[in-house]
Amino acid sequence: MIMQFSADEKFAKQLDAEDPLRSYRDKFHLPLGKDGKSLIYFAGNSLGLMPKSARQIVDQELDDWEKLGVDAHLGAKTPWYTYHEPLREPTAQMVGAKPVEVICMNSLTVNLHLMMATFYRPTKSRFKILMEDPAFPSDTYAIKTQIAHHGLDPKDALILARPRQGEFTVRTEGIVDLIEKHGDQLAVVMVPGVNFFTGQLFDIPTITKAAQTHGITIGFDLAHAVGNVPLAMHDWNVDFAVWCSYKYLNAGPGAVAGAYLHERHATNTQLPRFAGWFGNDPNTRFQMEKEFVPVPSADAWQISNPPIFSMAPLRASLSIFAEAGGMEPLRAKSVKLTGYLEFLLDNAGAKKFAVITPRETDARGCQLSILAHEHPKELFQKLQAAGVKCDFREPNVIRVAPTPLYNTFHEVWRFAQILGSHK
């Protein structure tokens, strides 16, 4: 899709006026700067904004606790005992899965360990894991300690897919080549949907197919993908995935995370796993039997009872996504919003900085990672002083994530003005 943009401020305002999703901004609390004006909040890739409706849902849980005590497990407006159930359908929508394939539980890294407990079963011949480098450190720690947990050495068992010399993003063919090279030694391929640093959207169907052709289990970390780009985990035949919900899903700090297992795994009660009572068949859970009877769904990986206060805001946020019509309309706006940002940055002075995120819209989400050639820290401070909330990654990259639910084209325009005026 070729988009015609203009650097004229009036054009940005016109894009906002024509935006069918413009009213959604008002559903969120926008943090204010010292001048009392809303910050230009481009940090949704780190922590999404608070939906205004979250307070009422959290208050409801507090009220139920206050008034019902233990009886709220069954008697709350949304019973706590089954609190994960109303999240199932909307979560499945967000990742493109069947309801039986998803569960909201724990935090992301914990879920990654739980998936590895099931899927990383190294044998003498198949013991390697392929991941990208640089990955988010928590993923690297999880994978390396999983390898060590099986008595193996990451030096022998960890294969890293790196960008080529002079490039920032990992090419799909680079990953496929490594899969082919180590094909019969790889047990698991574990890559992100969207890379945290560069904003690169990975070609999930192609990588999945390549791995499975060699009999390798394939999993994705969707931390930066869920709520950012449309996903079709089931149709792409992905084996497993994990994600957090405090970024683009706007569910608040440390909010409950999610996990997906393809139906063929989710319903397979014979798979090894780390079990707890909430993975047990609910019909027999309170018989307190000694033998674990897994429920034939992703719920069987749920270890503990649902953390109500970290789930409540997610309900608020997911209903906003549903009301907006799901990821398709949001993605359409997102492509335009980020495309406009890229256009304005190209206009503002390519010599001073370079965008290291892929230029192809189908190879990125909403984030652009801007490498500043000169005085990167000063530039970041200038942005902060001017009321922009974004983040800085050493040594010289500024990450900005205009999100379609609450950002405007005019904010993108203002951001580019500030950046362009940097000496």
Ligand X SMILES: Cc1ncc(COP(=O)(O)O)c(C=O)c1O
Stretch that binds ligand X, among 104-112, 281-289, 360-368, 413-421 (CB under 6 A): 104-112
Q: Please, which of residues 213-232 interact with ligand X by CB under 6 A?
A: 221, 223-224
Rg (CA), the chain: 22
Q: Please, which of residues 246-265 interact with ligand X by CB under 6 A?
A: 257
Residue 202 engages ligand X in binding (rule: CB under 6 A): no
Residue 136 engages ligand X in binding (rule: CB under 6 A): yes
Contact (Cβ atoms closer than 8 angstroms) between residue 78 and residue 306: no
Least CB distance from residue 135 to ligand X, whole Å? 7
The footprint of ligand X on this chain (CB under 6 A) covers a number of residues equal to: 13
Strand order in the sheet with 397-400: 353-355, 368-372, 397-400, 391-393
Give CA 96 to chain center in angstroms.
13
Contact (Cβ atoms closer than 8 angstroms) between residue 277 and residue 306: no
Among 109, 198, 250, 317, binds ligand X (CB under 6 A): 109
Report d(CA 155, CA 158) in Å as an integer: 6
Residue 24 engages ligand X in binding (rule: CB under 6 A): no
Q: Which is nearer to ligand X, 220 or 340 (CB)?
A: 220
Indicate the pairing of strand 391-393 with strand 397-400.
Answer: antiparallel
Stretch that binds ligand X, among 17-25, 65-73, 134-142, 263-271 (CB under 6 A): 134-142
Residue 139 engages ligand X in binding (rule: CB under 6 A): yes
Residue 138 engages ligand X in binding (rule: CB under 6 A): yes
Strand locations in 320-367, DSSP E?
353-355
- Max Cα distance, the chain (Å): 70
Among 83, 196, 380, 413, binds ligand X (CB under 6 A): 196
Stretch that binds ligand X, among 60-68, 75-83, 135-143, 198-206 (CB under 6 A): 135-143
Least CB distance from residue 254 to ligand X, whole Å? 7
Least CB distance from residue 266 to ligand X, whole Å? 22
Who contacts 129 (Cβ-Cβ below 8 Å, separation ≥6)?
Answer: 120, 143, 146, 147, 157, 158, 159, 186, 187, 188, 189, 190
Give CA 132 to chain center in angstroms.
16
Residue 299 engages ligand X in binding (rule: CB under 6 A): no
Least CB distance from residue 45 to ligand X, whole Å? 8
H or E element at residue 409: helix 409-420
Among 131, 191, 244, 295, binds ligand X (CB under 6 A): 244
Q: Which residues contribute to the site for ligand X (CB under 6 A)?
A: 107-109, 136, 138-139, 192, 196, 221, 223-224, 244, 257
